[in-house]
Structure formats: C-alpha cells, structure tokens
Structure 1
Amino acid sequence: MKSKPFLLYPVVLFLFIFLVDKIFLLPVFHDEFLQAGNSVFYFQRKVLEKRLLNDPEATEKKLALVFGDSRSYPFSELGIPDPYKKNWTLYNFSSPQGIPMNSYIQLKKLLDLGIKPEFVILSLSPEAFDDHKGFILSPFLRMGCDKDCLDIVWKDIPLKEKWTYILDKVFTIRSVELNLSLFSSRLKRGKLKEYKSSHNQEFQLINYTKGEYLMYGVQSNPVEKIKKDTLRIGSLYMSSYTLGESQKPYVEAFLELTRKNKIKTLVLWPKVYGDYYQYFEKFHIKEVWWEPIESLSTSYGAYTLNWNKPGTCDLFNDASHQSAYCFIDQMKDIWVNYAEK
C-alpha cells in the first residue's frame, strides 16, 4: 500500500494552529490588553475598585454605589443636588451589558473587602434576562468573572454558553476577541502602547472621575437617527424575547446582601426611546418582567422606580440611552425621594 503523507497535512495544520493559538495564553493578552469599549470598561472597574478602597472620602462621607449596564453610565457624583452633595461620594460600577450576575459579584466583592455603602442603585434592563441571547452574557464571562466567580455562577449559566466558554478556553484567541482592524491601525500609527491603560485615551476618560461616563451628553440626536437605531437594536435584542431563569436569582441574591447589610437600595428600570419601548409592549415586558421584579424588590425592603412612563425625560442619545441631561433632574429626584428618605 502506497504511503499517503498528504492525509496527515490537515492534522499537522490543526496542531500548528493550536500551538500558535497558545501564544494568546501569555499574560500580556489577559492582564491588561485594552482594545476598545467592553475591555476598557471591565478593566477600569477593577482599577476603580482599588481606588475606592484607598479613598478616605468613602469612609468620611456617605457612599453611594451604582450597578447595572450602559444605561446607567451617566450616574455621577456631579448630579447629587445641593445641599446633599457635600455629604456624599458616588462610585459608578455599571458595565457594558452589565447583567445581574455581574452586579451581584461586584457588590459581594466590595462588601467582602470591607466597603460599606449607605445607598445602592441597581439598574436593570429586560434584555439581560433573555438567556437565548448569548452575546449578552459573553462580556461578563470573558472579562468580569474570575475563578471564584465561576464557582458561584457556573450552575446557572445556560448550557449553550457553557459550551462557548469551554471553546474560548480551548482556543484562546476566541476569548481575546482580537480586533484585527484596531491592531492594524495601532501598528501603522506606532500606537501599540494604547493596549496599556497608561496610553489609552478611552481608559483615561473613563478613569478621570469615579466611573461615570458622560458621552451620552448630547441634548438630543435627530429623530431620524434614533429611529434608525431603533430598528437596529430592535432586530438585535427584541426580534424575539424569552424571559430566562439565569439572572433572577442574582437579583434576589443582590437584594439579600443589601438587606443583610442594611443598605438602602433602589431598583431602577431606565427609560428607552418610545419606538423601542413598543418592542417591550409586544412582549408584555412590564407585566412578565418588571412587575415580578417590583414585587421581589419590595419584599426585600428595596425601593423601585420605573422611568418608562409619561412625564419622564424624553431626550435621547440613541434608542437605548437617555441623554445625560436627563440625569440632572433624575438624580435630584432620586436623592430627595430615596437616598435621603
């Protein structure tokens, strides 16, 4: 029988690719490898945790903490109204696609480190509760969940996402999600140092204050642009909607922590653009998601606030995010009626 070495070529090629892939196990790709957006935020939240631990104001003043997703980025100490401002400091730990698992892990870690807030805002979005949208869970698993975290949440991770996570571990480049166009751009400009926080302008902007991100500071984008964005995110998040089971236990676990530690808590549903809210109405989100969240929250002694109703600010940066200008009056309302109540 004649030798057929070419049959081994695919095997050799696979082994070669597998070995090259292991380059991405090097610490340089995991300790501090800032690309854009998600990786910058999740890294900054770790830095913010250390800053909070070393901030004397956190013990000298009343401490407020914010948890949630990008819809709560603009919550800022700057918005605390007089005369309360002089007595408070606020740190914003909201993260891209910040699901309740992430908020619980963040709060638990801070409490374990001895941080004791006076007031906590937990911002929730219904999209985070759809277990069929794996891309919502992915940023947290890749960048916000270490081994101790995995030991806690693994049992509640949907099977499909467990498989994705395992593939990310086998083929490391998947977990890095290397942005080749960004790499090429930085290489051409001689700006590879931008992978480090000390040279990354996006990180510097987020890290300048206490975690808030005021890029949504436009007064109002053109209606045509917002309507176009409505179609985009409606197709992405709400082409179908299924209320899953993975996140609700972590809302309850979060509330159990705040009740146990006697922390005043506000559970908030941020407002979205009216045309996008019609997708929520299609799937009866208020009835099947928010009302159970309200009931659960009040049973743990937390306040609840739904901004998706008439009379709340109607300025939007895009279909999913209110303008930061909205938060001036909204912060006043929160402090008068909840934080200082």
Structure 2
Amino acid sequence: MSNLEPNPEEKLNFLTKPFLFYPVLLFLFVFAFDKIFFLDKVRDYVKVELTYIYYDVKQELLKEMISKFGKDVPQRSDKKLVLLMGSSRMLYFKNQEILDFYPDWEVYNLSSAVTTPAYYLYFLERLFEAGVKPDYLVLEADPFQFNANSTTFKKSNLAHSFDLRFILSHAWTLGKENVNYYLANFFFGVSKNKPYLENVYAHLTNKKFEQADLIKQLTIDSLHKDKGNALSPAGGFMEKDYGRLEASSVRTIGWIYPKYSPSEMQFSFYEDILEEVKSRGVPTLVVRPEVSLPLEKILKDLNIPAPWWERIRPINDGFGIPLVDMAEATDYDCNTFADSGHMAVDCYRPFLRFLRIRYPKN
C-alpha cells in the first residue's frame, strides 16, 4: 500500500489528529472575545441612547429595597413603603416633593421606558420571595403594554430586565421566540450590545458625546438619590401647539401601538400579578395615566381602548383591585403635556395627591 494512501484501520481522533481541536479552540476564542461586549465601556460606545441605565439602576434599587425591608432586616423602617411601577409616564415624580409633603412615605419608583406586566411580575416575585411587602403598590396599565405586535417588549424588557430563573420558570408563557431572544442576549455580548460601527464612529467624532460619561454618572447618581424618580428630559416644558401634539401622536401610534393586537402573554402575566398581590394582602391601585386629546382621539378611531377596557376591567373586578382611568377621575385635573403621551412635570404634583387620597386607611 502506498504511503500516500490512507490506512482504513487508522482512526480519526483528537490524539492522532490534533487539528480536530481547531474548531473547538476557535469557538472558545470567539466565545471569550465576545464577552468584551458585555463591558460597560464597550456598551457605552455601541449604544446611541442611554435608556439601559434606567433598567440597570432599577435592578440595584431592587437589592436596596430588599436590604432595607426584607425578612432578614433586624429592624424595618418605620416609614410606609410605597412602590410605583409603570412606564415613562410614571417616571418623573419629584422625590423632594414626596419627602416634603409625605414624610411618612418611602417611595421607590421602578418605572422605566415601555414596561409591561411581565416586567412588573419579575420585580414583585423577587421582592415577595425576599419578604418585602409594600404598604402601597401603584401600577400603570395602558393598552400599549398589551400589544402583541409591538417590538418594544423585546427591545426594552427582554433586552434589559429579568434574570435567567424568571425566563425559565415562565418559559411556557413567554414562548419559544422570546426565550430564545433572551438566551441569545444572556450568552452573547454581540447580541445584547450589537457592535454597530457607525455608533462607535459617532461617539468618537461627535462632540455631543464628549460628556457622555459625565452625563451617564450624573443620571445614575440622580436615580439612586431619588429612589428611581428621574429628571424629565423635557424639564418644565409644556407643549401648547395642538398641531405638534397631533404630529407627536402619530409617531407614538407607530412606535408603541403598531398593528394593535391583544397579547395573551401580557394578560396572563397581569392576572398573575393581581393574584399575587391579592393573596399577599398588598394594597394595590392600578391607574391609566392621562394622555393628550389628539392621541386619545387617534386611539379611539383605531378602536384600541374600548376592547381593552372591556377585557381588563373584569379582571380587576374579579380580584377586587381598583383600576382608575385618570382622564375620567373627578379628583384629578391636569391637562398639560410635554408630548402626546407624557404629562408635563407640573401634573406630577396633583398626580401624587391623587395617589395619596387613595392610600389605604388601615
């Protein structure tokens, strides 16, 4: 037999043919290199906006609440623990006003951009298992949080919230697509923080990013100091131009209400939340913050709110948990907006008073 002809009795294995290790080594190298995209410094360069900061700080505030109000705390604070959970529509309360007007309250705000019932349930599960029982829980509910065709659940909640235990324990409800999306972001940095070179170039060449690190740290410090309440990016601005509110409404519809269809997944999580708080005796109020008239009109024309109300009200009634449309509330009156879907900061003081009125007396 020629020396060039393969010996049929020779077995291919890692000992006789070391080159078989090469694909394994290449995979391990790529997998290890990928982890640099989890680094904060790298993430700052590939991300154009800093929304993820809010989600990161909320995770830290979760740990802070557990350390102060959990079952292992030797002496619980005498203040009443008030927990706010919503979207950016509930994000801009002024912490100093809370301290000034309601010194007996300790308010934590876990609201963040485009949150959903799944987001609420994750935090509540972690708080309850740690022995934290809020004295007052305020949740936001709005049709956009229940839209099956919105991509914001993936891009916001799945991308920045939850832990592996929550995903696996609720895998059946979340579905294969959402579980796979989370796992990809969990294991691979290039999936979670996609390395778009144009974003890196913008950060290196655009002067507006020169102070990005300072802005980021100031935002983090402010969120910690104010227990999750944020400074409004619009400041004290009120939009007085009706035409601008109409234009903003069209953009909002395209962003968070596109091709509206009820999400059975989010309704399932919502019922899980109400069942949890009811069984644990947590005083709970669910509110739908007011939006501008142009946005409400478009939503009505699209027949989005009415079917949502018809479905969600019986759920709340079944658990005996109030659900209040603030646009219809007789003890709340504020009609100024920063844009079509966000009340102006001046409305947060009457909003806070509205919540205080409904604080459980016992």
TM-score when normalising by structure 2: 0.77
Q: CA RMSD in A?
A: 3.5
CA shift at 1:143, angstroms? Answer: 1.4
Alignment pair present for 1:39 and 2:52 = yes
- Residue 254 of structure 1 is matched in structure 2 by 273
- Residue 70 of structure 1 is matched in structure 2 by 88
Q: Is this contact kept in 2: 1:271–1:322, CA < 8 A? A: yes
Q: Is this contact kept in 2: 1:66–1:75, CA < 8 A? A: no
Q: 1:105 to 1:242 in 2, by over 3 A?
A: same
Q: 1:52 to 1:262 in 2, by over 3 A?
A: same
- Residue 191 of structure 2 is matched in structure 1 by 174
Letter of the structure 2 residue corresponding to residue 25 of structure 1: K
Q: Is this contact kept in 2: 1:280–1:286, CA < 8 A? A: yes
Partners of 2:141 and 2:180 in 1: CA distance: 26
Q: 1:53 to 1:167 in 2, by over 3 A?
A: closer
Q: 1:296 to 1:338 in 2, by over 3 A?
A: farther
CA shift at 1:269, angstroms? Answer: 0.8
Q: 1:178 to 1:307 in 2, by over 3 A?
A: farther
CA shift at 1:160, angstroms? Answer: 4.4
* Bigger Rg over Cα: 2
- Residue 59 of structure 1 is matched in structure 2 by 77
Q: Is this contact kept in 2: 1:101–1:153, CA < 8 A? A: no
Q: Which moved more, 1:43-52 or 1:223-232?
A: 223-232
- Residue 148 of structure 2 is matched in structure 1 by 131
Partners of 2:163 and 2:83 in 1: CA distance: 22
CA shift at 1:18, angstroms? Answer: 11
Q: What residue ranges of structure 2 are gaps of 5+ in the alignment?
A: 1-24, 70-74
Structure 1 segment 140-151 matched on structure 2, within 5 A: 140-151=157-168
Q: 1:277 to 1:54 in 2, by over 3 A?
A: same
CA shift at 1:255, angstroms? Answer: 1.2
CA shift at 1:82, angstroms? Answer: 7.5
Q: How many matched pairs?
A: 325
- Residue 334 of structure 1 is matched in structure 2 by 355
Q: Is this contact kept in 2: 1:132–1:242, CA < 8 A? A: yes
The residue matched to 2:246 in structure 1 has which SS?
helix
Structure 1 segment 1-341 matched on structure 2, within 5 A: 23-26=33-36, 28-29=38-39, 33=43, 35=47, 36-55=49-68, 59-80=77-98, 85-162=102-179, 164-165=181-182, 168=185, 172-178=189-195, 180=197, 183-187=200-204, 200-215=217-232, 216-223=234-241, 224-309=243-328, 312-340=333-361
Q: Which moved more, 1:226-235 or 1:143-152?
A: 226-235
TM-score when normalising by structure 1: 0.81
The residue matched to 1:66 in structure 2 has which SS?
strand
Q: Deviations over 1:222-260 (max 9, x none)?
A: 424332211211222334211120101111111122112
The residue matched to 2:138 in structure 1 has which SS?
strand
Letter of the structure 2 residue corresponding to residue 115 of structure 1: V
CA shift at 1:219, angstroms? Answer: 4.5
Task: Name the % identity.
Answer: 19
CA shift at 1:263, angstroms? Answer: 1.0
CA shift at 1:139, angstroms? Answer: 1.8
The residue matched to 1:132 in structure 2 has which SS?
coil
Q: 1:31 to 1:55 in 2, by over 3 A?
A: farther
The residue matched to 2:82 in structure 1 has which SS?
strand
Q: 1:82 to 1:171 in 2, by over 3 A?
A: closer
The residue matched to 1:86 in structure 2 has which SS?
coil
Q: Deviations over 1:147-204 (max 9, x none)?
A: 1111133212255444544655686413214465554454457x89966x99633323
Q: 1:246 to 1:76 in 2, by over 3 A?
A: farther
- Residue 6 of structure 1 is matched in structure 2 by none
Letter of the structure 2 residue corresponding to residue 237 of structure 1: I
Q: Is this contact kept in 1: 2:286–2:321, CA < 8 A? A: yes
